[in-house]
C-alpha cells in the first residue's frame, strides 16, 4: 500500500487581493452605496433641493402615501408595464431569428451585417431621438411622406402627438435600438451550440425548423433569460427616450416612472418626494427581477 | 524576480489610485466660485484675485455678446477680479444645487420661479437700499421692479430687466390677399382664422405644448378681473372667477382646434419647428414670443406683428402675456468686492447703452428710455408699437415649480376630448394648492 503523503498547502490570509480590490470598492461605496442611503433617508423628508440640508423636515411616510394615492404613479406604472411587455419580447424574438439566419445560413458578409445591426448601440440616445423625431414629424417627416406617396393617407397622423400611437412610436424606436445588440449576443450563443446535435437531428430526419425549436432554443435558454432580465430592468428604468421625444405626453400616455421622478425632483422642487419615487422604483425592479430569477430557477 | 517586479508595479498603481481618489475628495474649498485648481486663501485666489461667479439663461450668441460688452467694462474697473460665467441650459437647477451645497453664485439672472425658490431659502440679498441709492427703480418702466417683489411687501430682492411679450406674427401678404385687417377683439381674431382656413391657408401655427397654453393664459387674463389674476398668480387665492375664465378660455381654444384653424396634426409638432413651418408661407398667423422675432423677421416673408386681442371689446384694456421675464439678484454670501462688482454689473445692464443692445438683438428692455432714435429692426419697432397700449400680464404657468408640465398635460387631455374643461381646471387647481 502506497502511503501518499499529502502535503497541505499553506492557506495563510492573503492581504494582496484585498489591496487590489479596495480602491474600486471605495469608489463604489462613495458613488453608489452612500447616495443610495442618502436617497432612502431623504425620501422621508420634504426637502425641496434648495434649502440647506440642516433645515429639512422629516415627514414620515407622507411622500409614499402621496405617490400611491396619486394618478401619476398609476399612469406611469401602466406605461412601464406596456413598455416591459413589448420591449422585452419583440427585440429578443427578432434578435434570435436574425442571429439564427446569420449563423446557420450561407448569407455572405455576416460580419458586416452584425456591425450594421450593432450601430444603434454605438449612437447616443440623443442622436437617435433627433433622428426619430424627424421621421415622426407630422409636417415634414419621412414616415408620413412615404405613407402619402404609397397611397396610405388614412394612416398619416401625428405619431408622437396621438394618444393611441405615441407610446408605440417610442417602442418602435426602442425595439430598433435593442434588437441589434440581442442579435450579436445570440450569434455568439448559437455558435457555441454543439454542432453534433444538429448532425444527429439531421440523421433522425429533423428539418431546420424542428432543429431550431428543439435544439437551438433550449441550448441558448440561459442567454435568453439573461437578455430578458436585462431588458426587463431597462424597461422600468426608461427615461431618455421619453424625455427627449414626448416629455411624457400627450397627456400622460407616455409618462413613465423615471420621468415622473425627474419632473417631481428637479422641476417641481420636491427632492424628498422624488427620492421616495426612486425607492419605490428600485423596490419594483428588485421584486420583478427576483420573481423572474425564481421562475428561471424553477425551469 | 519577474513576479516580484509585477507585484511591485501593481502595488504602485493601486497606491497611485488611492492617493488620486483621496486628493479629488479634498479639492479647493469652493466659496462663491468654481474650482479652478489653484490654491486659495479664503476668498482670494493666489495673485490677490477675487472670483465673481454668475449664472443666467443668456447663453445664445446674441445675449452672450451683451454680457461680454458689460464684462469688458467691469474687467477694466476690477482688474483683480476673475469673472466666471456659468450661464446656459438648466440654469435654475444649477443655481439651486450651487446654493444648497454652500457655494452659491455672486449674481443670478433668472426667472420668477427660480428667484422665488432661492429667496424663500434665504439665499438672496435684500436690495432696497441699493435700488434706492442707485436709482434703479426710476430707470424702469412703471411696475417693472414691483413685478418680482410683490410677494415680499416692503422688501426687494431682485431687479428686472426685460419684458418677454407673447405676440402674434402675421403674414402681411396673406392678410392683404384676404382683405384682413389687424384683429382688435377675440371675435375678429377667430374670424381671421376662419377666413384664412376657408381660403386654403393655415389659420395659425401651433404645436404640442406651449402655444395653446399661451392662448388660454392670454384669454384668462382678459376674462377674469385682474385683481383675481394677481391673487391667483401670487398664490393668495384661487377664485371662482379664475375657474370660469380658465374653463371658458380653454373651450374657445378647443373650438378653434376642432374647427381645423391650426396646422393639421400640430399635436405632434415641436415648438422649435414653428417659425420654420411659418416660413413656408402658407400660414396666416403665429402666436409666439419676442425671443423668436429674429427668426420670423428672416423668414423671407413680409411679416408683421400685433398684440393678441384677448378682449371682446376693443375699448377695454387688453392684457397680453408680457411679464418682466428675468431679473437680477445677488447672493447673500458675497463679500465686499463681489458685492461692489454685482452692483456695478446690474448698473451697467440697466444703462441706456446696454438697453440699446438688448433692443437691437430683439429683446424688450423694461427700461424707461427714449429709444426713438435707435436703429432697431422694422419688426422690433412694429412690436414695440403693437404692445405700447397693452397691459402686462403674466406667464400663469410660472405660478408654481412644475405647474407648466401639469398644465400642458391636462390641457392636452382636454383638447383631445379625454376630459372636460372642468376636470382640467380641478387638476390644475389641485396642483395650485400644492
Residue ranges of the domains in chain A?
41-298
What's the mean pLDDT in B163-189? 97
State whether B273 and A139 contact (CB < 8 Å). yes
What's the mean pLDDT in A112-117? 80
What's the mean pLDDT in B223-236? 94
Which range of A33-37, A192-196, B45-49 scores highest in mean pLDDT? It is A33-37
pLDDT for the residue A152: 93
- CB < 8 Å to A20, chain B: 10, 14
Q: Are residues B355 and B428 in the same domain?
A: no
Residues in chain A: 299
pLDDT at B47 over 60: no
Q: What is the three-class DSSP state of B78?
A: coil
Quick check: B222 and B295 in contact, CB under 8 A? no
What's the mean pLDDT in A90-118? 84
Q: What band does A299 get if pLDDT is binned at 50, 70 and 90?
A: low
Q: Are residues B254 and B275 in the same domain?
A: yes
Question: What DSSP line would sit under A22-34, residue for residue?
Answer: HHHHHHHIIIIIH
Q: Calculate Rg over the CA atoms of chain A.
A: 25
State whether B409 and A157 contact (CB < 8 Å). no
- CB < 8 Å to A30, chain B: 25
pLDDT for the residue A13: 59
Q: Are residues B419 and B271 in the same domain?
A: yes
pLDDT at B262 over 60: yes
Instruction: Select from B304, B328, B274, B309 the least CA-distant residue to B383.
Output: B304
pLDDT for the residue B44: 43
State whether A23 and B120 contact (CB < 8 Å). no
- CB < 8 Å to B121, chain A: 48, 50-52
What's the mean pLDDT in A212-241? 90
Q: Are residues B302 and B336 in the same domain?
A: no
pLDDT at A91 over 50: yes
Q: Does the CB of A158 have a partner CB in chain B at under 8 Å? A: yes
Q: Is B13 inside a domain boundary?
A: no
- CB < 8 Å to A19, chain B: 11, 14
Quote the number of domains for chain B.
Answer: 2
What's the mean pLDDT in B65-88? 93
Q: Are residues B284 and B331 in the same domain?
A: no
pLDDT for the residue B344: 96
Kindly give, in sequence order, each residue whose CB lies less than 8 Å from that of residue A277, ignoring residues fewer than 6 positions away. A67, A73, A257, A260, A261, A264, A265
Digit-coded pLDDT (tens) for B386-416: 998 899 999 999 999 999 999 999 999 999 9
What's the mean pLDDT in B194-199? 98
Distance from CA of A27 to the nearest CA of B (A): 8
What's the mean pLDDT in A98-127? 82
Integer Cα distance of A244 and A129 in angstroms? 6
Q: What band does A14 get if pLDDT is binned at 50, 70 and 90?
A: confident
Quick check: B341 and B81 in contact, CB under 8 A? yes
pLDDT for the residue A122: 82
Which range of B17-26, B61-70, B114-123 scores highest in mean pLDDT? It is B114-123
Q: What band does B34 get if pLDDT is binned at 50, 70 and 90?
A: very low
Integer Cα distance of A116 and A111 in angstroms? 9
Burial class (CB in 10 A: 0-12, 13-18, 19+), B30: middle
Nearest chain B residue (CA) to A255: B409
Q: What band does A114 get if pLDDT is binned at 50, 70 and 90?
A: confident
Q: Are residues B343 and B229 in the same domain?
A: no
Q: Does the CB of A29 have a partner CB in chain B at under 8 Å? A: no
Q: Which of B267, B401, B416 sits opposite A268 (nearest CB)?
A: B401
Q: Does the CB of B93 have a partner CB in chain A at under 8 Å? A: yes
pLDDT for the residue A2: 47
Q: Are residues B151 and B244 in the same domain?
A: no
Q: And the C-alpha cell for A281?
A: 422604483
- CB < 8 Å to A249, chain B: 208-209, 408-409, 412
B170 φ, ψ (degrees, to nearest 5): -135, 155
Q: Calculate Rg over the CA atoms of chain B.
A: 25
What's the mean pLDDT in B212-226? 97
B106 φ, ψ (degrees, to nearest 5): -70, -35
Distance from CA of B175 to the nearest CA of A (A): 23
Quick check: A272 and A43 in contact, CB under 8 A? yes
Give residue B86's domain range: 40-164+325-365
Task: Provide the 10 A C-beta neighbour count for residue A145.
Answer: 14
Task: Check the CA dihedral A117-A121-A123-A129 and report its sign.
Answer: positive
Q: What band does B223 get if pLDDT is binned at 50, 70 and 90?
A: very high
Residue B25 or residue A228, greater confidence: A228
Q: What is the CATH number of the domain that holds B135?
A: 3.40.190.10
Digit-coded pLDDT (tens) for B296-341: 999 999 999 999 999 999 999 999 999 988 899 999 999 999 999 9
Q: And the C-alpha cell for A110?
A: 455576416
SS (H, E, C) A233-271: HHHHHCCHHHHHHCCCCCCCCCCCHHHHHHHHHHHCCCH
pLDDT for the residue B38: 34
Q: Is B184 inside a domain boundary?
A: yes
Integer Cα distance of B34 and B103 in angstroms? 8
Q: Are residues B357 and B301 in the same domain?
A: no
Q: What band does B23 get if pLDDT is binned at 50, 70 and 90?
A: low
Quick check: B130 and B343 in contact, CB under 8 A? yes
pLDDT for the residue A280: 96
Please give the mean pLDDT across all residues of chain A: 89
pLDDT at B247 over 90: yes
Q: What percent of chain B has pLDDT over 90?
A: 68
Integer Cα distance of A289 and B1 in angstroms? 48
pLDDT for the residue B28: 40
Q: Which of B14, B99, B400 sits opposite A20 (nearest CB)?
A: B14
- CB < 8 Å to B117, chain A: 48, 50, 269
pLDDT at B40 over 70: no
pLDDT for the residue B357: 86
Q: And the C-alpha cell for B132?
A: 434706492
Q: Which of A22, A51, A157 sits opposite B121 (nearest CB)?
A: A51
Least-confidence region, from A7-21, A250-264, B188-202, B253-267: A7-21
What's the mean pLDDT in A77-85? 95
What's the mean pLDDT in B6-32? 62
Q: Are residues B222 and B305 in the same domain?
A: yes
Distance from CA of A255 to the nearest CA of B (A): 10
Q: Are residues B195 and B315 in the same domain?
A: yes
What is the biggest distance separating any 2 CA atoms in chain A, rounded to whole angstroms?
92
pLDDT for the residue B4: 82
Q: Is B86 inside a domain boundary?
A: yes
Which range of A23-27, A283-287, B247-251 scores highest in mean pLDDT? It is B247-251
Q: Are residues B258 and B352 in the same domain?
A: no
State whether A158 and B267 contact (CB < 8 Å). yes
Please give the mean pLDDT across all residues of chain B: 89
SS (H, E, C) chain B: CHHHHHHHHHHHHHHHHHHHHHHHHCCCCCCCCCCCCCCEECCEECCCEEEEEEEECCCCHHHHHHHHHHHHHHHHHCCCEEEEECCCCCHHHHHHHHHHCCCCCCEEEEEHHHHHHHHHCCCECCCHHHHHHHCHHHHECCCHHHHHHCCCCCCCCCEEEEECCEEEEEEHHHHHHCCCCCCCCHHHHHHHHHHHHHCCCEEECCCCCHHHHHHHHHHHHHHCCHHHHHHHHCCCCCCHHHHHHHHHHHHHHHHHHHCCCECCCHHHCCHHHHHHHHCCCCEEEEEEEHHHHHHHHCCCCCEEEECCCCCCCCCCCCEEECCEEEEEEEECCCCHHHHHHHHHHHHHHCCHHHHHHHHHCCCEECECCCCCCCCCCHHHHHHHHHHCCCEEECCHHHCCCCHHHHHHHHHHHHHCCCCCHHHHHHHHHHHHCC
Which range of B45-49, B139-143, B145-149, B260-264 scores highest in mean pLDDT? It is B260-264
Cα B46 vs. chain centroid, distance in angstroms? 37
pLDDT for the residue B29: 41
Q: And the C-alpha cell for A108?
A: 455572405
In terms of CATH architecture, what is A41-298? Answer: Orthogonal Bundle (1.10)
Q: Is B5 inside a domain boundary?
A: no
- CB < 8 Å to B99, chain A: 50
pLDDT at B224 over 90: yes
Q: What percent of chain A has pLDDT over 90?
A: 60
Residue B177 or residue A101, greater confidence: B177
What's the mean pLDDT in A168-177? 94
pLDDT for the residue B36: 36
Q: Are residues B293 and B411 in the same domain?
A: yes
Instruction: Select from B433, B422, B432, B424 the least CA-distant residue to B397.
Output: B432
Amino acid at each position: 500500500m502506497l502511503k501518499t503523503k499529502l502535503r497541505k498547502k499553506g492557506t495563510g490570509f492573503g492581504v494582496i487581493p484585498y489591496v487590489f480590490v479596495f480602491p474600486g470598492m471605495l469608489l463604489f461605496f462613495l458613488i453608489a452605496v452612500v447616495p443610495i442611503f442618502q436617497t432612502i433617508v431623504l425620501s422621508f423628508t420634504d426637502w425641496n433641493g434648495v434649502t440647506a440640508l440642516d433645515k429639512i423636515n422629516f415627514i414620515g411616510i407622507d411622500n409614499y402615501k402621496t405617490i400611491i394615492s396619486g394618478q401619476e404613479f398609476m399612469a406611469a406604472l401602466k406605461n412601464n408595464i406596456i413598455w416591459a411587455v413589448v420591449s422585452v419580447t419583440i427585440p429578443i424574438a427578432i434578435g434570435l431569428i436574425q442571429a439564427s439566419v446569420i449563423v446557420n445560413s450561407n448569407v455572405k458578409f455576416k460580419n458586416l451585417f452584425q456591425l450594421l445591426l450593432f450601430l444603434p448601440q454605438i449612437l447616443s440616445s440623443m442622436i437617435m431621438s433627433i433622428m426619430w423625431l424627424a421621421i415622426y414629424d407630422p409636417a415634414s417627416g419621412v414616415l408620413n411622406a412615404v405613407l402619402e406617396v404609397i397611397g396610405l393617407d388614412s394612416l398619416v397622423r401625428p405619431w408622437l402627438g396621438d394618444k393611441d400611437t405615441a407610446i408605440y412610436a417610442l417602442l418602435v424606436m426602442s425595439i430598433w435600438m435593442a434588437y441589434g445588440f440581442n442579435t450579436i449576443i445570440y450569434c455568439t450563443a448559437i455558435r457555441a451550440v454543439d454542432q453534433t446535435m444538429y448532425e444527429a437531428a439531421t440523421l433522425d430526419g429533423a428539418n431546420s425548423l424542428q432543429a431550431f425549436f428543439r435544439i437551438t432554443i433550449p441550448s441558448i435558454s440561459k442567454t435568453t433569460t439573461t437578455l430578458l432580465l436585462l431588458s426587463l430592468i431597462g424597461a422600468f428604468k426608461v427615461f431618455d427616450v421619453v424625455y427627449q421625444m414626448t416629455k411624457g405626453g400627450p397627456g400622460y400616455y407616455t409618462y413613465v416612472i423615471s420621468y415622473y421622478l425627474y419632473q417631481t425632483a428637479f422641476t417641481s422642487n420636491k427632492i424628498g418626494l422624488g427620492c421616495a419615487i426612486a425607492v419605490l422604483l428600485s423596490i419594483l425592479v428588485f421584486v420583478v427581477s427576483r420573481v423572474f430569477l425564481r421562475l428561471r430557477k424553477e425551469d | 524576480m519577474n513576479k516580484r517586479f509585477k507585484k511591485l508595479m501593481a502595488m504602485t498603481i493601486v497606491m497611485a489610485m488611492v492617493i488620486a481618489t483621496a486628493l479629488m475628495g479634498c479639492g479647493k474649498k469652493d466659496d462663491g466660485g468654481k474650482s479652478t485648481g489653484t490654491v486659495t486663501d479664503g476668498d482670494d485666489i493666489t495673485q490677490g484675485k477675487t472670483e465673481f461667479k454668475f449664472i443666467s439663461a443668456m447663453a445664445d450668441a446674441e445675449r452672450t455678446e451683451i454680457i461680454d460688452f458689460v464684462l469688458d467694462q467691469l474687467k477694466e474697473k476690477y482688474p483683480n477680479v476673475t469673472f466666471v460665467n456659468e450661464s446656459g441650459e438648466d440654469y435654475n437647477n444649477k443655481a439651486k444645487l450651487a446654493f444648497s451645497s454652500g457655494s452659491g453664485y455672486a449674481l443670478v439672472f433668472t426667472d420668477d420661479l427660480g428667484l422665488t425658490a432661492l429667496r424663500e431659502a434665504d439665499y438672496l440679498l435684500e436690495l432696497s437700499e441699493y435700488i434706492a441709492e442707485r436709482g434703479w427703480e426710476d430707470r424702469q418702466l412703471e411696475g417693472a421692479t414691483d413685478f418680482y417683489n410683490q410677494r415680499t411687501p416692503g422688501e426687494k430682492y431682485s431687479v428686472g430687466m426685460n419684458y418677454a411679450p407673447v405676440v402674434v406674427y402675421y403674414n402681411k401678404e396673406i392678410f392683404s390677399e384676404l382683405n384682413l385687417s389687424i384683429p382688435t377683439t377675440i371675435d375678429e381674431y377667430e374670424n381671421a382664422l376662419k377666413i384664412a382656413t376657408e381660403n386654403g391657408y393655415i389659420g395659425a401655427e401651433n404645436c404640442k405644448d406651449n402655444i395653446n397654453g399661451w392662448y388660454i393664459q392670454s384669454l384668462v387674463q382678459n376674462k377674469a378681473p385682474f385683481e383675481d389674476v394677481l391673487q391667483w398668480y401670487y398664490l393668495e387665492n384661487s377664485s371662482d372667477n379664475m375657474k370660469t375664465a380658465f374653463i371658458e378660455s380653454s373651450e374657445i381654444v378647443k373650438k378653434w382646434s376642432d374647427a381645423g384653424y391650426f396646422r393639421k396634426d400640430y399635436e405632434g409638432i415641436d415648438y422649435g419647428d414653428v417659425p420654420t413651418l411659418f416660413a413656408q408661407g402658407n400660414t396666416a398667423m403665429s402666436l409666439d414670443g419676442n425671443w423668436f422675432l429674429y427668426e420670423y423677421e428672416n423668414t423671407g416673408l413680409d411679416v408683421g406683428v400685433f398684440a393678441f386681442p384677448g378682449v371682446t371689446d376693443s375699448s377695454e384694456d387688453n392684457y397680453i402675456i408680457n411679464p418682466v421675464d428675468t431679473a437680477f439678484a445677488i447672493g447673500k454670501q458675497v463679500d465686499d468686492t463681489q458685492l461692489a462688482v454685482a452692483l456695478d454689473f446690474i448698473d451697467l445692464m440697466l444703462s441706456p447703452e446696454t438697453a440699446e443692445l438688448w433692443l437691437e438683438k430683439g429683446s424688450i428692455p423694461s427700461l424707461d428710455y427714449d429709444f426713438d432714435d435707435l436703429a432697431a429692426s422694422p419688426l422690433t419697432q412694429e412690436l414695440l408699437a403693437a404692445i405700447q397700449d397693452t397691459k402686462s400680464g403674466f406667464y400663469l404657468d410660472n405660478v408654481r415649480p412644475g405647474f407648466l408640465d401639469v398644465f400642458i398635460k391636462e390641457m392636452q387631455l382636454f383638447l383631445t376630448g379625454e376630459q372636460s374643461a372642468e376636470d382640467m381646471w380641478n387638476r390644475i387647481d389641485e396642483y395650485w394648492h400644492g
